Amino acid sequence: MAESIENTSDAVTEINCATNQPEEITKRDVAIAWLRFYFADEIPHCFDRYIAPALTWALMPILRKLYKSKTDLAAAYQRHLLFFNTQISWGGGTLTGISASLEVARAKEMAAGVDITIDDDLIYNSKAGLMGALSGIGDSIDSGTIQYIFIAIALPWAQAGNPIGALFPFIGFSLYQLVIGWYFANLGFKLGKSAATEIVGTQMQVIIEALSILGLFMMGILAANYVTVASSLSFTLSGKEFVIQDILNTIMPGLLPLLTVGGVYLYFVKKGMNVTKALLGLTLVLGVLAAVGIL
């Protein structure tokens, strides 16, 4: 039975090759394309094309199933070797799926002998128009929120000397990007160019806002637990000693760490995300305050 199915499959492939008919692209093909992009991303990086070679390599199995003519296949490779750069999961996953979807539509038009509406410009412009916008979303959610949630979860383990604390953020974040990129690749293939509308739609915006709020909570927890700033200032009044830190603890525990984090945040808002200057300035200010006995 298995031999019969295999022979039938080979026969269909031979017929497709002979008639230049594109083969059917399945979810498995899209999943393989996404996995190839995920593992190849940034490896063939070059300044004139950026990560376009990674996307081309990811799409190669799909393109070979769609274009039986060597000339058409070479042209498809060239289409995807133009400049391309985006975030790996939200951008890379979605655009892998969209590119596959557009190539399927183009191959069908070529096989039917009708006018080509899915031309080279449309395919490239779809990628070029979306890669920046999707990068902005992906970087703010993944790099700005999700990875710090994994770090916050693992910090207590790391402080306790458990090696899982060092490994968990990398493994957890990698698996998260693998899964969510696979989802977006399938979404992009299913919806084509309209997939971007789905990603920035109402439901996804609710998820993004929820993740942002969760990220703020995690940052608050990190600041409260791992930013230590205390005052050593004390004075004696009518024979009774008053310790400033004890007074602050009764009013609002963690007030000084909160002010420190808030000050750094305001600096970033006013001056931009210059981490080096912020660290140097914070070290200088805290050093002066410690030298005069305030901290």
**Phi/psi at 41 (nearest 5 deg)?**
-50, 130
φ, ψ at 223 (rounded to 5°): -60, -40
**Tens-place pLDDT, residues 56-109:** 999 999 999 999 889 999 999 999 998 998 889 888 998 999 899 889 888 888
Whether the pTM exceeds 0.75: the reply is no
Alpha-carbon distance 45 to 41, whole Å?
8
Amino acid at residue number 165: G
Structure tokens at 146: 């999700």
Q: What backbone torsions phi and psi does residue 115 show, to the nearest 5 degrees?
A: -60, 140
Could you give the CA distance from residue 84 to residue 78 in angstroms, rounded to a whole number?
12
> Hey, which of 56-60, 108-112, 146-150 has the most confident mean pLDDT?
56-60
Question: How far apart, in whole angstroms, are the C-alpha atoms of residue 127 and residue 85?
Answer: 9
Q: Please, what is the end-to-end C-alpha distance for the chain in angstroms? A: 80
Name the token pair of 165.
Answer: 């604390």
Which amino acid makes up residue 37? F
pLDDT digits (tens, 9 = 90+) for 188-224: 888 775 554 555 455 555 655 665 665 566 666 666 6
Among 113, 101, 91, smallest CA distance to 66 is for 101
* Integer Cα distance of 252 and 164 in angstroms: 34
pLDDT single digits (tens) 234-290: 667 666 766 766 666 677 777 777 777 777 777 777 777 677 777 777 778 777 777
pLDDT of residue 12: 45
The tokens for 32 are: 């393989």
- β-strand pairing of 240-243 with 234-237: antiparallel
